[in-house]
Amino acid sequence: MRKYFEEFEPGSVRDSTGRTITETDIVLHAGQTGDFYPHHMDEEWCKQQPFKKRIAHGTLVFSVAVGMTAGVINEVSMTYGYDRLRFLQPVFIGDTLRVKVTVRERKEHKRPGYGLVTEGLEVFNQRSDLVMVCDHLLLVEKRVPGDAAH
Amino acid sequence: MRKYFEEFEPGSVRDSTGRTITETDIVLHAGQTGDFYPHHMDEEWCKQQPFKKRIAHGTLVFSVAVGMTAGVINEVSMTYGYDRLRFLQPVFIGDTLRVKVTVRERKEHKRPGYGLVTEGLEVFNQRSDLVMVCDHLLLVEKRVPGDAAH
Amino acid sequence: MRKYFEEFEPGSVRDSTGRTITETDIVLHAGQTGDFYPHHMDEEWCKQQPFKKRIAHGTLVFSVAVGMTAGVINEVSMTYGYDRLRFLQPVFIGDTLRVKVTVRERKEHKRPGYGLVTEGLEVFNQRSDLVMVCDHLLLVEKRVPGDAAH
Amino acid sequence: MRKYFEEFEPGSVRDSTGRTITETDIVLHAGQTGDFYPHHMDEEWCKQQPFKKRIAHGTLVFSVAVGMTAGVINEVSMTYGYDRLRFLQPVFIGDTLRVKVTVRERKEHKRPGYGLVTEGLEVFNQRSDLVMVCDHLLLVEKRVPGDAAH
Amino acid sequence: MRKYFEEFEPGSVRDSTGRTITETDIVLHAGQTGDFYPHHMDEEWCKQQPFKKRIAHGTLVFSVAVGMTAGVINEVSMTYGYDRLRFLQPVFIGDTLRVKVTVRERKEHKRPGYGLVTEGLEVFNQRSDLVMVCDHLLLVEKRVPGDAAH
Amino acid sequence: MRKYFEEFEPGSVRDSTGRTITETDIVLHAGQTGDFYPHHMDEEWCKQQPFKKRIAHGTLVFSVAVGMTAGVINEVSMTYGYDRLRFLQPVFIGDTLRVKVTVRERKEHKRPGYGLVTEGLEVFNQRSDLVMVCDHLLLVEKRVPGDAAH
């Protein structure tokens, strides 16, 4: 698929399918990152904390959310980075996440023939609580190399 | 361990141990996120790209880097979010990463008794190339609740 | 172990031990295959479907069932293929599977010194529901190379 | 996505992206199925066999191939089963697989409002060797319930 | 970190953080070791045994317990072996383990410049039942090479 | 299978099949235990050590070795513990292990109707180096409850 810079319409929205965060996801993520903090791994300790239950790693929620938005490949786009990544609510075992992606803006970029697109990611749980947000910055080829951003 | 807001000295630095990114890490991360893009999973396709070899997912590099900085728990600190996450160089199978953490600044925060600490994460490979950076924002309890940030 | 073509008695039966299908198995299988369909991964969506709960991938049930029949190696036998693989009932998290293997028939095969054995695999859950069937075709060395199948 | 029975055109073809089979895939599949036969796990033993190197489990090749064809969900289709699954060439660590899916035929089915679609799966390695084939049987809703198959 | 032979004080104690043993841990350990015995994998069979529920592999409890004691690296110490490893109570899914490490004794060793330290590992569950014990033998560099053990 | 105390013949030997230790095994074991020490995970650091290459965790070698001896279940035997576990040579990625099990002795045990059997486990690599040994203690039912050990 080829979706060029000019085709990203600010305000346009797409939604992911849902995915339930499981105990397995947390155990595997601890294993991948080496983060075995009791917040994620010690049910007894968690019972005594304000949040009461084991919670997913922030990097797990982020990785899964980004993965959920990776459907058909856009061959003329690449990730530039992420801004304002915030964890707003804890994610528990059994929570089901969905991601809403909104095109926020198109901007010029110093790399010739490319522009910068910002997509806002919003991650919701099954109670429609907003649990995570971030801005995804994409470097996208222009259909017409000399085009201005607006 | 309890390291209070006032004890984060701007400019102070700590270094992680090293960790080699393996093919296993990439396969497991694809499995955790559902991102099976050919950049990570198709050696034949990668041979025809400018980077020539399979590359690690951005979310893998980020997750591992954050995990590498998770040593002894600071009981009076929690993650507030991340800013300016950028992937500067591709990470290949066999690259060995190290993370340098520098305290950047202390700021006031609206939550009473807490301040905001910014740590800069810089991830280097075995050739000392800077491959990833981000700012880690920490909400840290003040030793003396009424203390100002400076 | 060497069990030759002539030693497969049509009608003879062997039973596997049991194995409980866990949430972990499903998450790992999604990770191995890249199939993150909501049937397997989205508990909320499944609640609204006729089957109500997440179900195991067909390829997971098949892979586990075949694995459960792999005990002592028969050095003179190799898998030729599988026929009539059917999924008759959904397999849920917590179901315990057992496999019954019945020798169905012996047939001639064009490869000199070998014959074709068909074993029927029947997979049952803990309620004795038949959840999967298939025919496993084995190419097996003859003890006496010139022997006819019957 | 809704693709009805009548919309499956015999002869139409789609191709998957590629995926490299790794040592990790084999180790994980042994772990999922419990099949630790030396064909997959013992490099020294394999050196003395005709195929010389560790080979992927048949159930791994099948599971990955089926997963590679699972893109956008067709909400009006479900898997009925698989026929004539054959492993034609061994798959080694480092081989890159692609799957070609061809609609073979549409047939009536006893379930009212549904018809049976057969898709042929052909799995090729990076040398264009055909390594696996099977027929995938799909039970697909008819757009016009009373429609005949042809 | 460098903690020399002379610095191991018999009677001194350190405690690990806690870790909950999950179904995931057991499934992953079966997958790593190839031990799919029904004690660990077949919930129906376990219901009919005296212990009623699936139990963790002994090697899993041992591996996790040893891992829980691996905090900051002591650069002048290496594992020599383990003695008197005993499994005293079954560990069930959902049990939370903690490890208490007690320096038992310092002994001379034939390797010049090194001595042998014995640490006792005691693993407790959330009900303070002692579930596993072993002696961990460490070969540790002497600060003063010619020093005697006492 | 039922093999009673009296049937363990001191001096009798059985051999396992072989298994190659892979990078995947080490990464998965680090993930299961939380032991990310550079000896196992940092290829660059290892290059500067006497052993030059990443080495398998002791608990991995032990777990895999014990798993390799777990074939057909003996219903009248249970593990009592392990003694004299020693790691004699490092195990590297790509080494292929085999286990030799020798019945060492039969002893009385205080539990009525049971006796204690000691099996010696010897783990060899593909160069026939002995890399690990331990004694496996089994509590085994007596065929004739009142029988003495000798």
> Residue C39 in 3-state DSSP?
helix
Q: Please report residues of C whose CB lies closer than 8 A to that of E36.
A: 17, 19
Tokens representing A123 are: 């991650």
- Name residue, tokens 């204690």: F116
Angle at D98 between CA D94 and CA D102, to 5 degrees: 160
pLDDT at C1: 86
Q: Is E70 within 8 Å of chain F by CB?
A: yes
Q: Please report residues of A whose CB lies closer than 8 A to that of C44.
A: 18, 20, 96, 126
Span C2-58, pLDDT tens digits: 999 999 999 999 999 999 999 999 999 999 999 999 999 999 999 999 999 999 999
Burial B124-144 (b: 16+ CB within 10 A, else e): bbbeeeebbbbbbbbbbbbee
Q: Please, which residues have CB within 8 angstroms of residue A29's CB and are 6 or more apart in sequence?
A: A35, A40, A56, A57, A59, A60, A63, B32, B63
Residue-by-residue DSSP string for F62-113:
HHHHHHHT--S--TTEEEEEEEEEEE-S--BTT-EEEEEEEEEEEEE-SSTT
Mutation to test the A interface, candidates B82, B88, B121, B138, most A Cβ within 10 Å: B82
Span E80-128, pLDDT tens digits: 999 999 999 999 999 999 999 999 999 999 999 999 999 999 999 999 9
Distance from CA of A96 to the nearest CA of E (A): 19
Contact B23 D22 (CB under 8 A): yes
Residue-by-residue DSSP string for F46-65:
HHTSTT-S-B--HHHHHHHH
Contact C36 A24 (CB under 8 A): no
Q: Measure the CA–CA gap between B36 and B42, rounded to whole angstroms.
A: 9
Q: Please report residues of B whose CB lies closer than 8 A to that of C32.
A: 31
- Listed in sequence order, the DSSP H helices in A34-110 are 38-41, 43-47, 58-68
Span D30-65, pLDDT tens digits: 999 999 999 999 999 999 999 999 999 999 999 999
Tally C-beta pairs within 8 A across B and F: 34
pLDDT at A114: 96
Which candidate, E138, E35, A86, places its Cα nearest to that of F63?
A: E35
Distance from CA of F67 to the nearest CA of B (A): 22
Mutation to test the D interface, candidates B40, B45, B48, B53, most D Cβ within 10 Å: B45
Which candidate, C9, C136, C119, C145, places its Cα nearest to that of C79?
A: C136
Q: Measure the CA–CA gap between C44 and C104, rounded to whole angstroms.
A: 42
Q: Measure the CA–CA gap between A32 and A63, rounded to whole angstroms.
A: 12
Span E8-48, pLDDT tens digits: 999 999 999 999 999 999 999 999 999 999 999 999 999 99
Nearest CB partner across the interface for A70, out of B34, B63, B80? B34
For residue B43, give the H/E element and its range.
helix B43-47
Q: Is E23 within 8 Å of chain A by CB?
A: yes
Distance from CA of A81 to the nearest CA of B (A): 4
Contact A45 E19 (CB under 8 A): no
Q: Is F28 within 8 Å of chain B by CB?
A: yes
User: Directed axis angle between helix E58-68 and helix E23-33, to 10°?
Assistant: 110
Q: Is A47 within 8 Å of chain E by CB?
A: no
* pTM confidence score: 0.96
**Contact at 8 Å (CB) between B148 and B121?**
no
**Contact at 8 Å (CB) between F21 and F99?**
no
Is pLDDT at D137 greater than 80 in this prediction?
yes
Nearest CB partner across the interface for D41, out of F19, F28, F126? F19
Span A70-126, pLDDT tens digits: 878 899 999 999 999 999 999 999 999 999 999 999 999 999 999 999 999 999 999
pLDDT class of F128 with cuts at 50, 70, 90: very high
Distance from CA of E11 to the nearest CA of F (A): 23
- Name residue, tokens 């105990």: A23
Q: Is C112 within 8 Å of chain B by CB?
A: no
Q: Please report residues of B whose CB lies closer than 8 A to that of A85.
A: 81-83, 85
**Contact at 8 Å (CB) between B19 and B61?**
no
Distance from CA of D92 to the nearest CA of E (A): 21
Is pLDDT at B43 greater than 90 in this prediction?
yes
Dihedral angle computed from the Cα positions of residues F55, F61, F63 and F69, in that order, rounded to the nearest 10 degrees: 150
Contact F34 A32 (CB under 8 A): no
Q: Which chains touch A (3 or more CB pairs under 8 A)?
A: B, C, D, E, F
Fold of D5-141: Thiol Ester Dehydrase; Chain A (3.10.129)
pLDDT class of F71 with cuts at 50, 70, 90: confident
Tokens representing D38 are: 């030396």
**Contact at 8 Å (CB) between C35 and D67?**
yes
- What are the residue ranges spanned by the domains of chain B? 5-141
Distance from CA of E72 to the nearest CA of B (A): 8
Contact A62 B59 (CB under 8 A): yes
- In three-state form (DSSP H/G/I as H, E/B as E, the rest C), the secondary structure along A8-39 is CCCCCEEECCCEECCHHHHHHHHHHHCCCCHH
Contact E19 A28 (CB under 8 A): no
Nearest CB partner across the interface for E37, out of F35, F63, F70? F70
Average pLDDT of the residues in F102-112: 96
Q: Which chains touch E (3 or more CB pairs under 8 A)?
A: A, B, C, D, F
Contact A96 C27 (CB under 8 A): no
Mutation to test the E interface, candidates F35, F55, F134, most E Cβ within 10 Å: F35
